[in-house]
């Protein structure tokens, strides 16, 4: 995921120490990287990801697919309290996650987490349900 930022010094602790939050150079368009993973939840292009991946006040985002395509998407909604964001891409025929019935899950069963942390694409982590 790639998000837009207004300042080349956005979030820089050294700059903020001397100048605070003011942007001396005015608003600028700049490409800023934010890495994370998401899940395609519908064939008509809805993607769910974490709010911290999208960032604040972001309306457009670039979504990198497993087949190396990069497509533009729009942020439909985001909730910082639950750290979730909903995106929409204008691409049809994407592979969609198949949801399971979590009410049938039992303590002691194996589960998998799939994602792309730290620029490692398509990773899988295993765990056991404990509560």
Name the DSSP letter for residue 80.
T
For the chain, give percent helix, strand, coil, nearest 5: 15, 35, 50
Asked if residue 121 is part of any domain, the answer here is no
Asked if residue 104 is part of any domain, the answer here is no
Q: Is the pLDDT of residue 12 over 90?
A: no
Name the DSSP letter for residue 34.
-
What residue numbers bound the domain in which 51 lies?
2-96
pLDDT at 86: 96
Residue 87: give its domain's CATH number. Answer: 2.40.10.10
pLDDT in tens, 31-71: 556 677 888 999 889 999 988 888 888 888 888 888 888 99
The more confident residue out of 61 and 11 is 61
pTM exceeds 0.75: no
85 beta partners: 49, 78
φ, ψ of residue 16 to 5 degrees: the values are -65, -30
Total structural domains within the chain: 1
Asked if residue 72 is part of any domain, the answer here is yes
The more confident residue out of 110 and 100 is 110
Q: Is 29 exposed, middle or buried (0-12, 13-18, 19+ CB in 10 A)?
A: exposed
CA distance 106 to 99: 16
């Amino acid at each position: 995921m790639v998000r837009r930022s207004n300042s080349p010094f956005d979030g820089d602790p050294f700059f903020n120490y001397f100048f605070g939050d003011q942007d001396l150079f005015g608003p600028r368009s700049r490409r800023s990287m934010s890495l994370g993973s998401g899940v395609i939840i519908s064939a008509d292009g809805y993607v769910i990801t974490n709010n911290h991946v999208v960032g604040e006040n972001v309306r457009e985002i670039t979504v990198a697919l497993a087949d190396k395509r990069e497509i533009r998407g729009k942020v439909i909604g985001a909730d910082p309290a639950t750290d979730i964001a909903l995106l929409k891409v204008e691409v049809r025929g994407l592979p969609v996650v198949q949801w399971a019935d979590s009410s049938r899950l039992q303590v002691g069963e194996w589960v998998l987490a799939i994602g792309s942390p730290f620029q490692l694409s398509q990773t899988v982590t295993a765990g056991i349900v404990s509560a």
